[in-house]
A = this chain, B = another copy of it.
Amino acid sequence: MKIALAQINQTVGDFKKNTEKICLSINRAKCKGADLVAFPELAVTGYPPKDFLDIPAFVDENLKALEEIAHSTSGIAAIVGFVDKNKRPYGKLVHNAAAFIQDQKIVSVHHKSLLPTYDVFDECRYFEPAHTISPVKFKNYTLGISICEDIWNDEEFWTRPLYEIDPIENLISNRANVIINISSSPFTVGKHEEIRLRMLTHDAVKYKVPFIYVNQVGGNDDLVFDGNSAVINAQGKLIAQAAIFEEDLMVVDIENPSAHVQPKRYSPIETIYMALIAGLRDYVTKCGFKKVVIGLSGGVDSAVTAALAVESLGSDNVIGVLMPSQFSSQGSIDDAVKLAINLRIVYKITPIKDVFETYQNTLKTEFKGLPFDITEENLQARIRGNILMALSNKYGYLVLTTGNKSELAVGYCTLYGDMSGGFALISDVPKTMVYELANFINREKEVIPKNSIDKPPSAELKPNQLDQDSLPPYDILDGILKAYVEDARGVDEIVRMGFDEKTAREIIRKVNRNEYKRRQAAPGIKVTSKAFGSGRRMPIAHNFMR
């Protein structure tokens, strides 16, 4: 049996294009001699459709699209992810489903059993779980069709299964002799190599059946899907792996695999780099933008953001803006200019001194006798935000914010200031990882000026300011943040890890107090196991270590 794995990049709710792409892939798979082509989870609607699922008109369009897709399967079988209606008189209105289509006929429909409802996932919000699980006969095989999370509950692989049932065990006991899993499994660093492939291998060996894993690719808001579709044979060997962060149509003969393949190896930082580039490109395109504008401070965060944007969108589509104030060092201005030249992007210089002085003048009666403080610092950041937004409004550019995860965690950023913008590209990248990215970007030649990487970080919002005046060194900060935000450890545990108690407490307090800023932050791309945003939902009004 020749199976095609159609690793495609869909747009939520774009039924016309999504359907075209599916039909095109069916045709291409047929031309390549495939007996069966499998598409990712919810390929018809795009994933995640979120609360569009509550709109009946959306679900109806998806069903019409599935009909159209079925019509184009003459001479081939297809497994297509779509939204099915729940026909029972109770429960959620829809199922997350896979249609098994053969020769223009929908032969069977398979519902997802395990509905991830944690981190960025909300599937219990929408979907009724499967009430029955059954495999389907095709050629000499009995196909066990499963959807994403359905393969993520093996009681041997996981120390603590999240669900009571294991749909794969069920399929196997119903004589499935090949497991096909259609997924929309988002990227986080290390997930594919350290979890997915290990799990697929474990399960293939355990059940002695091949596993066909088809994953979505591309970005949708804060999530980027890495693709990495794979085929594991019954001996647990990887026999094929599709592209990473790119569309692919891979045809595999599961009886006659050409050879075992090694999984392509990328360093963690390289996968993050690719994720950010792919995610940005799709966000820009799917939102209908073409160009982005970035404030360049001469610091490493804006430099990395700009370099990633150039890699993602091309030099012609990135505009840099330098907005020096009286507190900007000449070195920073030089570094920003040098970066723009290295990246071959257009850059503009718009000093903010006049506007800053006029604000101060406007507020002078009100603020009479009061010292320069965070107010005036924030004001400078807000003037810069306004200028970028003015360029966005006038020319239709998307503003990229340049803040990193460490700053966002502790609130070392200005609402409506440096947080102004439509997409916060590196907002899930901790500062220490920003440096790793900078070095990766410079791996062949100096793109990011060495000085931007080497100098002590500063917001340059008052004389002689350094980040480290307000924050612990970034390696310590990032260590504590990982423990608290990603791993949900308490103070006691963090202290046992070797961090200072007072510092740990202060950082946790800052994280907890600054939820109000993050609530108004632009979305960014999730690359770690726990990003701020839809995957971490915290109250603003509370009194837990505040």
Task: For the complex, count residues of A whose C-beta is within 8 A of B.
Answer: 97
* Given contacts A354-B361, A361-B354, A391-B366, A220 and B537 within 8 Å (CB-CB): no
Residues of chain B contacted by A125 (CB below 8 angstroms): 117-118, 122, 124, 537
- B542 & A286 in contact (Cβ 8 Å cutoff): yes
Our pick among B160, B361, B539 for the contact of A52 (Cβ within 8 Å) is B539
- A370 & B382 in contact (Cβ 8 Å cutoff): no
**In the assembled complex, how far is the CB of residue A65 from the closest CB belonging to chain B, in whole angstroms?**
12
Residues of chain B contacted by A546 (CB below 8 angstroms): 13, 288
A367 within 8 A of B: yes
A164 within 8 A of B: yes
Bound CA–CA A90/B383 (angstroms):
52
A459 within 8 A of B: no
CB proximity to B under 8 Å, residues A10-53: 11-15, 17, 46, 48-52
Residues of chain B contacted by A543 (CB below 8 angstroms): 11-14, 17, 286
- A162 & B520 in contact (Cβ 8 Å cutoff): no
A536 within 8 A of B: yes
**In the assembled complex, how far is the CB of residue A539 from the closest CB belonging to chain B, in whole angstroms?**
5
A257 within 8 A of B: no
Bound CA–CA A459/B523 (angstroms):
28
Interface string of A123-157 (1 = CB under 8 A from B): 01100000000000000000000000000000100
**In the assembled complex, how far is the CB of residue A142 from the closest CB belonging to chain B, in whole angstroms?**
28
Our pick among B54, B350, B367, B389 for the contact of A415 (Cβ within 8 Å) is B389
| Interface hub of A374, A394, A542 (most chain B Cβ within 10 A) | A542
A422 within 8 A of B: yes
* Given contacts A162-B90, A359-B355, A359-B390, A287 and B540 within 8 Å (CB-CB): yes
* Given contacts A373-B394, A389-B382, A391-B366, A537 and B163 within 8 Å (CB-CB): no
A259 within 8 A of B: no
Our pick among B50, B162, B355, B391 for the contact of A92 (Cβ within 8 Å) is B162
A56 within 8 A of B: yes
A positions within 8 Å CB-CB of B? 11-15, 17, 46, 48-52, 54-58, 60, 89-92, 115, 117-118, 122, 124-125, 155, 160-164, 219-221, 282-283, 286-288, 348, 350-352, 354-355, 358-359, 361-363, 366-367, 370, 373-375, 378-379, 382-383, 385-387, 389-391, 393-394, 415-416, 420, 422, 488, 490-492, 516, 519-523, 534, 536-546
